[in-house]
C-alpha cells in the first residue's frame, strides 16, 4: 500500500485533479469535503479516471470531533489542505464567514497533526498574498502588500500561522503553494471546474456564455493600466497545478526540504489579459463569446504574474500546458455538462 494522503476539499476543482495525480503515482488518498461548493459524484469520476475510488468523508473541518475521529482511525503520511472559501467578491461581502471557515479549518488540522504526530502539510495558498505588487514578475521574496480582499488576507494569515507553528513544533514541516489562476480541466472531461451559481472566475463564465447558459460575459473594467485596459493574470492549467502538489508531497516525504516552512509560486510566468483569454478561447474552439464591459469588481488587482524560477529548480516542477490547452479542455468539460 502506498503512502496515505489526506486531501481536504478533495471533491473541489483543484483537489479532485490532485487526487487523480496522487493515485496515478501510487498514493492512497482519503478525501474530506463538506460539499458546499462541489458534488459527491466527483468521487466516482476520480475512480473512473484512475481505476481506484478514494475513500470519502463528508463533514466541515470546523467539526473538530469528526476530524479527530478520522485522525484516530488513520495514520496519515501527509495532508494537502485545500478546504476553504475562495471567492474574492463574496469575501468582500461576507468577511466573517471567510475568517471563520478558512482559519478555523487550518487550526483544527494543526492541533490534530500535533496530537497524532503527522508531520507533512501542503497548504493551498494564493498569489493574492502579494496584494497588488509594486514590481513584476512576482518572486517568492516579494513582500506581502495589504490584501485586496478578506479572502487574500486569510491566505496571508494562514501562511503566517504555518510559519510560526513550524518554528515551535519541530516535528511539523509545511509547504505553501502560491497558485496563480488555475483553469482548464482533466483531458478525460470527467472532472473540471463546477461553480455553484454564478461563476466568480473568468473561464467558467466564458464557457457558460459560449454554451448559451448566460446571455453575455461580464468583463470587469477596461480602464486598467494594461495594454488593452483589462486585468492581467497568470493562468495555469489545473493538471499542471495538481502535479505540483505531487512534487510538494514527494519533497516532504523524501526529506528534501531545506527549511521547516517553504513556499513556492505556481504559475506559468506569463500574464494574459481578460480579452486575450477570451480571444484564445474563441480561436481554439471556433466559437464566439458575447461580452460586455461593466464596472470594476471590488477586491480585484490590476495585474500579476509569477516568477517560477524557484519552483522550476527547487521543486523540480514546471508548467507544461499552454493557454490553448487550457481553453480547449475547459470547453470540452463544459460540453459534457450540457449534454
Q: Which residues are catalytic?
A: 151
Rounded to an integer, what distance in angstroms lies between the CA atom of residue 329 and that of residue 173? 35
Rounded to an integer, what distance in angstroms lies between the CA atom of residue 325 and that of residue 102? 31
Which of left, alpha, beta for 293 (phi over 0: left; psi -120 to 50: alpha)? Answer: beta
Longest dimension (CA), the chain: 55
- What nine digits make up the cell of 87? 471567492
**Buried-state track 251-276, b at ≥16 Cβ within 10 A, e below 16:** bbeeeebeebbbbbbbbbbbbbbbbb
Rounded to an integer, what distance in angstroms lies between the CA atom of residue 328 and that of residue 210? 13
- How many CB atoms lie under 10 A from the CB of residue 96? 9
Amino acid at each position: 500500500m502506498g503512502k496515505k494522503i489526506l486531501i481536504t476539499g478533495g471533491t473541489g476543482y483543484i483537489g479532485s485533479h490532485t487526487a487523480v495525480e496522487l493515485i496515478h503515482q501510487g498514493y492512497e488518498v482519503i478525501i474530506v469535503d463538506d460539499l458546499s461548493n462541489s458534488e459527491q459524484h466527483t468521487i466516482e469520476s476520480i475512480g473512473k479516471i484512475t481505476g481506484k475510488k478514494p475513500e470519502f468523508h463528508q463533514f466541515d473541518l470546523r467539526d473538530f470531533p469528526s476530524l479527530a475521529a478520522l485522525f484516530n482511525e488513520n495514520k496519515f503520511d501527509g495532508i494537502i489542505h485545500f478546504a476553504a472559501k475562495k471567492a474574492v467578491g463574496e469575501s468582500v461581502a461576507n468577511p466573517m464567514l471567510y475568517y471563520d471557515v478558512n482559519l478555523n479549518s487550518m487550526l483544527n488540522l494543526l492541533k490534530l497533526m500535533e496530537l497524532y504526530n503527522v508531520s507533512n502539510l501542503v497548504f493551498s495558498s494564493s498569489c493574492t498574498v502579494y496584494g497588488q505588487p509594486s514590481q513584476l514578475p512576482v518572486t517568492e521574496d516579494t513582500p506581502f502588500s495589504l490584501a485586496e480582499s478578506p479572502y487574500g488576507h486569510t491566505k496571508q494569515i494562514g501562511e503566517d500561522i504555518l510559519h510560526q507553528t513550524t518554528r515551535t513544533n519541530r516535528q511539523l514541516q509545511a509547504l505553501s503553494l502560491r497558485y496563480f489562476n488555475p483553469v482548464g480541466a482533466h483531458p478525460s472531461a470527467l472532472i473540471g471546474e463546477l461553480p455553484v451559481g454564478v461563476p466568480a472566475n473568468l473561464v467558467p463564465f466564458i464557457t457558460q456564455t459560449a454554451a448559451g447558459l448566460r446571455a453575455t460575459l461580464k468583463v470587469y473594467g477596461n480602464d486598467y493600466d494594461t495594454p488593452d485596459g483589462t486585468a492581467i493574470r497568470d493562468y495555469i492549467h489545473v493538471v499542471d497545478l495538481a502535479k505540483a502538489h505531487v512534487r510538494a508531497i514527494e519533497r516532504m516525504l523524501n526529506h528534501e526540504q531545506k527549511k521547516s516552512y517553504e513556499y513556492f509560486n505556481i504559475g506559468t510566468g506569463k500574464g494574459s489579459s481578460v480579452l486575450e483569454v477570451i480571444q484564445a478561447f474563441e480561436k481554439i474552439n471556433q466559437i464566439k463569446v458575447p461580452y460586455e464591459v461593466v464596472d470594476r469588481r471590488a477586491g480585484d488587482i490590476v495585474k500579476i504574474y509569477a516568477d517560477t524560477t524557484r519552483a522550476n529548480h527547487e521543486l523540480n516542477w514546471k508548467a507544461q500546458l499552454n493557454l490553448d490547452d487550457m481553453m480547449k479542455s475547459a470547453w470540452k468539460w463544459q460540453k459534457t455538462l450540457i449534454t
